Chain A
Amino acid sequence: MSITNIDTQVFAKQLRIHVLNMTSSGGSSHVGAAFSMADIIAVLYGHSLKIDPQLPKWADRDRFILSKGHAGACVYAALALRGFFSVDKLLTHYKDGSYLSGHVSHKGNPGVELSTGSLGHGLSVGSGMAYAAKADNKNYRVFVQLSDGECDEGSNWEAILFSAHHHLDNLVAIVDYNKIQSLAPVAETVGLEPFSDKWRAFGWAVREVDGHNHEELKAAFASIPAETGKPTVVIAHTIKGRGVSFMENTVLWHYRTAKGEEFDAALRELEAK
């Protein structure tokens, strides 16, 4: 595994500042969803993923799929900061003529494995990649980042059944479990609990972590498979909007864009950390 010397805490701070700038400048939504997974993305792209920015299609790279494509700004920022493309490009996000769409897209963006945006697609595609890796005797791992609300999509559960049946222990699902979906809390929408029991019952190895604790995340990603012969799910307990006090744990900041004083206040908080 390629361990970089990147300070993931600093990396996460940079990610959040870029995401704030990108979403505010472009006028896009989903800042809360991007902030809630920023630490996971920082640990993956700053530490755990075996990737080479100079060779985005390197055959043995770890694959990362952002299935919750609406939080694409955070992945774009991570790729730019790692050198897959220019950081200057980030401010074209969501603007006329840009390839940096609101939902993550591979077109024109080296390092993005899969374009998503409609929920419930990433885990099946990731399962196919993991199945291919097994068939080809390859050692790469496939990480798929899901949202909690996304787990309402039945297609995920098709993939969950499939990958356990085929013992795809090179597959890792990460659930950004911030417990708030677009209109209301998860528990008031379609409750997922007992969530980890569901995955376990479907034949997955389950790891529950604090999704903002980098050491816990690093440890979880360093021990894949968590159980031989089983795919691993890392249920990452997170706080939606993490990093900006007035965005945290609110439904509002799923869609709201920070403008004017809100933007200034958010930037001050992120820079102070």
Chain B
Amino acid sequence: MRDAFIATLSELAKKDKKIILITADLGFGVFNKYREELPKQFLNVGVAEQNMTGVATGMALEGYTVFTYSIANFPTLRCLEQIRNDAAYHGANVKVVAIGGGFSYGALGMSHHATEDLAIMRAIPEVTVVSPGCIWETQRATEALVNTPGTCYLRLDKSNAGDTSLPGEVFQIGKARRLKEGKDLTIVTTGGILCEVLAAFDRLQKEHQINCRVVNVHSLKPFDEEEILSAASETGGIVTVEEHVVEGGLGGLVAEICLENGQPPRLFHRIGLRGGFASKVGSQEYLRKHYDMSEDAIVNAVLRLVSQRRPLDSSQELKVTTLH
């Protein structure tokens, strides 16, 4: 995703001299080509995320479209108030880019686990929040953010689901993508963990004859309420999957939307990080398994929910499901 982002941004920046990329001293080797081709549109502010975001705001207020870049929580949590007060409140064209969503940098330890960023960033008013799941979404999201006014957050992952685009498909911020059609239950996901979801979809279909709908939500804000409400009413069950704490991210968002619209799915479960910080380290793959958000965990969650399904015409009350 990182390379796709930089390659796409590079093409955009060649056409628009007002696009600037600022890094806080991270991205070793990855900017060489960009920097060589666009030296005036690149700035390394050093290890200073607060200043990076403030400088970006100042430039944006003078007409630039500024991408701030760092890894994990550094471009978000470390300078959260600059994003809130300076960039977002002023509607500044600052596009915050974090490389390493979730456990992308799993072995580097807790400091590098970006597992609360979606909840925190989506809570800030007037910030667009985008979390692509595949290379195609990364490319299209990068293009779209240049044309999206105001402050945006782009969360990029180390893992990805390849190219999930359909022929002729048009990417739209705020529009979820129904990647698989199915009636038994819906898996709603965001980010690179889409690859685990798609693998789980295949297994559920082949080994268990369960046809899930798969909805990929690349935009958490704005959010495609309609697609989620359709999933709730048409498939009766939703499992959300995110490499993020279960509080406040995608799962929380889906629950909020369904309840507020009076359309709770009869079956519901959030897959994500539970029970505190991830103190164990390891690869992204290892940590997904360890913290129950891998392909296996998704398959098991769906199987358990489906086994608890009651007839569709029974009570519409929300079924409380405990999977632990």
A3 to chain B, nearest CB (A): 25
Interface residues in chain B, defined as those with a beta carbon under 8 Å from any beta carbon in chain A: 40, 43, 45-46, 48, 50-51, 53-64, 81-82, 85-86, 89-90
Chain A, 104-163, CB within 8 A of any chain B CB = 106, 113-118, 120-121, 123-133, 135-136, 154-155, 158-159, 161-162
Given contacts A124-B51, A124-B82, contact A132 B89 (CB under 8 A): no
CB pair A131–B58 under 8 Å, yes or no, is yes
CB pair A129–B61 under 8 Å, yes or no, is yes
A-B contact pairs, 13 of them (CB 8 A): A120-B50, A125-B55, A125-B58, A125-B86, A128-B56, A128-B61, A129-B62, A131-B55, A132-B58, A135-B40, A155-B50, A158-B45, A162-B48
CB pair A132–B59 under 8 Å, yes or no, is yes
CB pair B89–A115 under 8 Å, yes or no, is yes
A154 to chain B, nearest CB (A): 8
Provide the residues of chain A in CB contact with B58, threshold 8 Å.
124-132
Provide the residues of chain B in CB contact with A158, threshold 8 Å.
45-46, 48, 50-51
Of B46, B62, B64, B85, most buried by chain A (CB within 10 Å of CB) is B62
CB pair A128–B90 under 8 Å, yes or no, is no
Known: A120-B50, A132-B64, A161-B51. 20 other contacts (CB 8 A): A115-B85, A121-B54, A124-B50, A124-B57, A124-B58, A125-B54, A125-B55, A125-B58, A127-B51, A128-B61, A129-B58, A129-B59, A131-B55, A131-B59, A132-B63, A136-B63, A154-B50, A155-B50, A159-B54, A162-B46
Provide the residues of chain A in CB contact with B53, threshold 8 Å.
124
**Residue in A118, A123, A132 whose beta carbon sits within 8 Å of that of B81 in the complex:** A118
> A155 to B82, alpha carbons, bound, how many Å?
10
CB pair A125–B57 under 8 Å, yes or no, is yes
Interface residues in chain A, defined as those with a beta carbon under 8 Å from any beta carbon in chain B: 106, 113-118, 120-121, 123-133, 135-136, 154-155, 158-159, 161-162
CB pair B55–A161 under 8 Å, yes or no, is no
B267 to chain A, nearest CB (A): 44
Given contacts A115-B89, A115-B90, A118-B81, contact A128 B59 (CB under 8 A): yes
> A124 to B85, alpha carbons, bound, how many Å?
13
> A47 to B90, alpha carbons, bound, how many Å?
28
Provide the residues of chain A in CB contact with B46, threshold 8 Å.
158, 161-162
> A106 to B57, alpha carbons, bound, how many Å?
14
**A-B residue pairs, 9 tightest by C-beta:** A128-B58, A124-B54, A158-B51, A132-B62, A128-B55, A158-B48, A129-B58, A155-B50, A125-B58
- Name the CB-closest residue of A to B87: A125
- Name the CB-closest residue of A to B66: A128
Provide the residues of chain B in CB contact with A155, threshold 8 Å.
50-51, 54, 82
> A128 to B87, alpha carbons, bound, how many Å?
12
CB pair B62–A128 under 8 Å, yes or no, is yes
A30 to chain B, nearest CB (A): 18
CB pair A117–B48 under 8 Å, yes or no, is no
CB pair A159–B51 under 8 Å, yes or no, is yes
- Name the CB-closest residue of B to A155: B50
> A113 to B50, alpha carbons, bound, how many Å?
19
CB pair A124–B40 under 8 Å, yes or no, is no
**Residue in A121, A133, A135 whose beta carbon sits within 8 Å of that of B82 in the complex:** A121
Provide the residues of chain B in CB contact with A125, threshold 8 Å.
54-55, 57-58, 61, 86
> A135 to B55, alpha carbons, bound, how many Å?
13
B83 to chain A, nearest CB (A): 11
> A117 to B86, alpha carbons, bound, how many Å?
11
Of A117, A125, A126, most buried by chain B (CB within 10 Å of CB) is A125
Provide the residues of chain B in CB contact with A118, threshold 8 Å.
81, 85
Provide the residues of chain B in CB contact with A128, threshold 8 Å.
54-62
CB pair A106–B90 under 8 Å, yes or no, is yes
> A22 to B12, alpha carbons, bound, how many Å?
49
Given contacts A125-B58, A128-B56, A162-B55, contact A114 B86 (CB under 8 A): yes
Provide the residues of chain A in CB contact with B63, threshold 8 Å.
132, 136
Of A127, A128, A129, A155, most buried by chain B (CB within 10 Å of CB) is A128
- Name the CB-closest residue of A to B17: A135
Provide the residues of chain B in CB contact with A124, threshold 8 Å.
50-51, 53-55, 57-58, 82, 86
- Name the CB-closest residue of A to B24: A158
> A227 to B81, alpha carbons, bound, how many Å?
33
Provide the residues of chain A in CB contact with B62, threshold 8 Å.
128-129, 132-133, 136
Provide the residues of chain A in CB contact with B57, threshold 8 Å.
124-125, 128
Provide the residues of chain B in CB contact with A129, threshold 8 Å.
58-59, 61-62
A90 to chain B, nearest CB (A): 23
> A3 to B53, alpha carbons, bound, how many Å?
34
Provide the residues of chain A in CB contact with B86, threshold 8 Å.
114, 121, 124-125
> A190 to B55, alpha carbons, bound, how many Å?
26
- Name the CB-closest residue of A to B50: A155
> A155 to B53, alpha carbons, bound, how many Å?
11
Provide the residues of chain B in CB contact with A136, threshold 8 Å.
62-63
> A44 to B116, alpha carbons, bound, how many Å?
44
> A129 to B54, alpha carbons, bound, how many Å?
10
